[in-house]
Amino acid sequence: MDAIDIKILNCLKTNSRQNASAISEQINLSVSAVIERIRKMESNGIIKQYTVVLNSAQTGNDMSAFISVSIEHPKYHQNFMDKVTGMPNIRECYHITGEFDYLLKLEAGSTAQLELVLNSVKSIDGVSHTHTLVVLSTVKNEISGMPLLMQNLKGFK
Amino acid sequence: MDAIDIKILNCLKTNSRQNASAISEQINLSVSAVIERIRKMESNGIIKQYTVVLNSAQTGNDMSAFISVSIEHPKYHQNFMDKVTGMPNIRECYHITGEFDYLLKLEAGSTAQLELVLNSVKSIDGVSHTHTLVVLSTVKNEISGMPLLMQNLKGFK
DNA sequence: CTTGAAAATAAATCGCG
DNA sequence: CGCGATTTATTTTCAAG
């Protein structure tokens, strides 16, 4: 991965649906080279996925919360992770240091739905203690990792 | 937004670079209709952005942490949000209920970098108290909101 | 919404710096 | 590795049913 790849990733981050010739113009590289580099990054796994970001206010899932969870014994961990992975309202799950074991991000369309999800989490085997934070507003939410990539580069588009 | 739109969004979520004809085949709708529906969702803002998900392990930003922040007085809020928005290592910032005012997600490439970011956050005006959780592993991280959309639908692809 | 043909674009190929 | 002209294949557009 060099500076050119990063420029390409930056273009794709902004709009992953733009084609190679559009990118080519933006970064002053031939279309063939752009295509070749994209293919390489797809096949070696740097590019994991192309996806779409939706307006959650319009899709009706604009309520979110974080819940910290303690598990009473290590034997429950695998089951907990499996359960959580299968629950669509749980969007993120992190294993963390500190007082709690996991931090989950939930999304729902109403407080009632949120309550249901919270209760399901609390009733997973081994969950001993939880702490819930409701999100009042999202100040920032950068998806994938581009700005960071660019920190260490001088001249990018 | 109807069930067909949701099928289209689901396709785009899986791979936003696939074109209308590919989607058309998957959901048994004519190409023109697919294009028209996508355009509509783009222009009315349901589709916010097409983006790419990178492998952070390979891009060198695979270290992350959450930091909860208390602000000592409301007058500091705006400045805090502005600062945080401008910091690339801060990927997410939520205004939350509870003991703290904000929850931030940080990403960095090393513990040293992480430490720097933590210190920058702590030195923003008005920050009175913080609590840091380091992420040991990411169990789940679903990006945009598709699975939730589908909960309420019976027959999707 | 669908179809199908025309028009416009994009991608793959391939010698060659 | 990158370029860029050519060929090949796809896609989008549009008018009509």
Task: Give domain limits for chain A.
Answer: 3-52, 63-134
What is the pLDDT averaged over residues A85-99?
95
Give the pLDDT confidence of A100-123 residue by residue, as tens digits: 999 999 999 889 999 999 999 999
Which of chain B's residues have a Cβ under 8 Å away from the Cβ of A64? 94
Contacts of B66 in chain A (CB under 8 A): 94, 96, 103
Interface test with A, best of B1, B34, B54 (most A CBs within 10 A): B54
Encoded tokens for B136:
């040991």
Q: Confirm or reject contact between A47 and chain B (CB < 8 A).
A: yes
Q: In which residue ranges of chain B is pLDDT below 70?
A: 144-157
Give the mutation candidate from B7, B40, B51, B134 for the A interface (greatest A CB count, under 10 A).
B51
CATH architecture of the domain covering B3-52: Orthogonal Bundle (1.10)
Structure tokens at B50: 């097409």
User: Which of A84-93, A102-111, A135-144, B54-63 shows the lowest mean pLDDT across its residues?
Assistant: B54-63
Distances (CA, A) of B119 to B7, B78, B103, B130: 45, 19, 15, 10
Please give the Cα distance from B156 to B110 (Å, whole number): 43
- pLDDT at residue A58 in the model: 81
Q: Look at the alpha carbons of B118, B119, B121, B127 in this order and tell me if their dihedral is positive or negative.
A: positive
**Chain B residues lying within 8 Å of A13, measured CB to CB:** 51-52
pLDDT at B153: 42
Q: Which of B's residues 106-135 have CB atoms within 7 A of nucleic strand C? A: none
Host H or E run for residue A40: helix A31-43
CA of A47 to C1' of C5 (A): 38
For position A68, what pLDDT does the model report? Answer: 97
Q: Do domains B3-52 and B63-134 have the same CATH topology?
A: no
pLDDT at A143: 75
Digit-coded pLDDT (tens) for A64-80: 999 999 999 999 999 99
| Residue A154 scores a pLDDT above 50 | no
Q: Does B28 touch chain A (CB under 8 A)?
A: no
Cβ(A15)–Cβ(B106) below 8 Å: no
Cβ B140–A54 below 8 Å, yes or no? Answer: no
Say what the pLDDT of residue B154 is.
34
A59 vs B93: CB contact, 8 Å cut-off? no
Q: Where are the alpha helices (DSSP H) in B2-151?
A: 3-14, 20-27, 31-43, 56-59, 77-85, 111-122, 146-150
Do B146 and A103 form a contact (C-beta atoms < 8 A)?
Answer: no
Determine the residue of chain B that is closest to A8 in CA distance.
Answer: B52
- pLDDT tier, A153 (very low <50, low <70, confident <90, very high otherwise): very low
Say what the pLDDT of residue A157 is: 33
| Contact assignment for B93 to A140 by CB distance below 8 Å | yes
**Is 70 exceeded by the pLDDT of residue A155?**
no
pLDDT tens-place string over residues A20-31 = 999 999 999 999
| Residue reference for tokens 């929850």 | B103
Q: What is the pLDDT of residue A149?
A: 58
Question: Is the CB of A148 less than 8 angstroms away from the CB of B61?
Answer: yes
Question: What CATH fold (topology level) applies to the domain A63-134?
Answer: Alpha-Beta Plaits (3.30.70)
Whole-number pLDDT of residue A56: 83
